[in-house]
Amino acid sequence: MFFFLIALLIVAIIVMLAFLAPKRYEVRRSVIIDRPHSGVFDYLKYIKNQDHWSPWKNKDPNVKQEYFGIDGEVGFIARWEGNSDIGSGEQEITEIVQNDRIEAELRFFRPWKSTSRAITKVENLGKMQTKVTWGFSGVNKFPSNIFMLFYNMDKAAGKDFEEGLNNLKALLEKV
């Protein structure tokens, strides 16, 4: 009877944690780039250009990459297989709204399976300035959502997004 009560208590705690845990996540960061809006957008719509500014490329310079389709068009897929810092997965362009945003589906295979929606949005600020917002969002499924009670996705991934946007700014402003 004692073991039954302990097991029941453990199940109750897990259910309570799952109920309280966040069901969604979203990470977004922005930067202002001193370059014309259309040029910034045209650069960003090509996924292969991320190799020049993405923080994850620096975490594994030997990452194996494959590409399928035509870069800069809906349906283009960039697949990667990297070290433990970047894992493996693929990114597929799902929508391009000219001079507004590029949306993609991120499918992670390792270190854990998940799917996220990525967005890169550009906004014309006039005076040769462009605001770029880069981020991703998704759903925390049970039981992994319990882990999110103890892990701050925004803080952890946000640093990488900030680094990437700063790299992008430096790259595009020196051109």
Mean residue pLDDT of the chain comes to 87
Residue 149: per-residue pLDDT: 58
Interval 17-57: pLDDT, tens: 666 666 777 789 999 999 999 899 999 999 999 999 999 88
Are 111 and 90 within 8 A, CB to CB?
Answer: no
Residue 10 clears pLDDT 80, i.e. is over it: no
Q: For residue 123, what are the domain limits?
A: 2-174
Task: Please tell me the distance from the alpha carbon of residue 22 to that of residue 9, in angstroms, as a whole number.
Answer: 22
* Number of structural domains found in the chain: 1
Q: Strand pairing partners for 28? A: 135
Residue 168: per-residue pLDDT: 96
Residue 44: per-residue pLDDT: 97
Strands (E), 34-173: 64-68, 77-81, 88-97, 101-110, 114-126, 129-139
Percent of the chain's residues with pLDDT above 90: 55
Residue 148: per-residue pLDDT: 62
**Close Cβ partners of 145 (under 8 Å, ≥ 6 residues apart):** 18, 21, 22, 23
Interval 104-143: pLDDT, tens: 999 999 887 889 899 999 999 988 999 999 998 876 676 6
Are 50 and 57 within 8 A, CB to CB?
Answer: yes
Residue 106: per-residue pLDDT: 93
CATH code of residue 12: 3.30.530.20
Average pLDDT of span 75-100: 94
Are 132 and 122 within 8 A, CB to CB?
Answer: yes
Are 27 and 130 within 8 A, CB to CB?
Answer: no
Containing 32, the helix (H) or strand (E) segment is strand 24-33
Residue that wins the pLDDT comparison between 82 and 140: 82
Residue that wins the pLDDT comparison between 109 and 144: 109
